[in-house]
Amino acid sequence: MAKKNADDGRQIVANNKKARHDYNIYDTYEAGLALMGTEVKSLRMGRASLVDAFCQFDNRGELWLEHAHIPEYLQGSWTNHSARRRRKLLLHRTELDKIAGKTREAGYTIIPLSLYFVHGKRVKVEIAVARGKREYDKRQTLREKQDNREAQRAMRYRNMRG
C-alpha cells in the first residue's frame, strides 16, 4: 500500500531516491498525470517505479512522462494498460513555458522526483528541472553528509556526558 504523509495529505506511491544523488535540483513543480483506470488501480496498490523515468517535450509543446513503470493491474482484462507507456503531464501553459525555457539551456533536464496521491483522490507527480552532477560533486556531497553526521554524533556524546 502507499505510504501516508500526515502533514500535507499526500500518499506517496513511488520516490526517485537516486534523483537527488545524481542531480542538482533547481526548480520543482507539481504536475497532474493523465492516467487510465487500471493505472490508478495499480497505483492504489502501491506499485510503481520511477527509476529510469524522465520528462520530455513533444513537438506540440506538451510535456510527457517517459519510462515510468506502472505494472499492469492484476484483475484487469483486455482494458489493461501497457506498463511503460508515455503519460501526459498536466501543467499550466505558463509553467510549461518556464520549464521549456530553462531546459533549452545546456545541461538541464526534467526528472520526476515522486509520484503520489493528493488527499486520496488525484495522482500527482513532483517534477524537477535539474542538472546532472559530476562524479566529484557526488563524492563531495557524501563527504559533507558524513562530516555533519560525525559532528552531530560528537555533540550528542558531549551533551550526554555533561
Decide the pairing of beta strands 54-57 and 63-66. antiparallel
User: Does the reported pTM lie above 0.95?
Assistant: no
Read off the pLDDT of each residue in 120-125 and give the average, rounded to a whole number: 86
pLDDT of the residue at 157 = 80
| Phi (first) and psi of residue 11, to 5 degrees | -115, 105
Asked whether residue 44 carries a pLDDT value surpassing 90, the answer given is no
| Position 70 confidence tier, pLDDT thresholds 50, 70, 90 | confident
Q: Which of 37-41, 49-53, 115-119 has the lowest mean pLDDT?
A: 37-41
pLDDT of the residue at 113 = 92
| Position 160 confidence tier, pLDDT thresholds 50, 70, 90 | confident
The phi-psi region of residue 67 (left if phi > 0; otherwise alpha if psi is between -120 and 50; otherwise beta) is left
Asked whether residue 17 carries a pLDDT value surpassing 90, the answer given is no
Distance separating alpha carbons of residues 50 and 115, to the nearest angstrom: 8
Give, in order, the Cα–Cα distances in Å from 47 to each of 38, 43, 52, 153: 12, 5, 15, 37
Read off the pLDDT of each residue in 120-145 and give the average, rounded to a whole number: 84
Distance separating alpha carbons of residues 122 and 112, to the nearest angstrom: 17
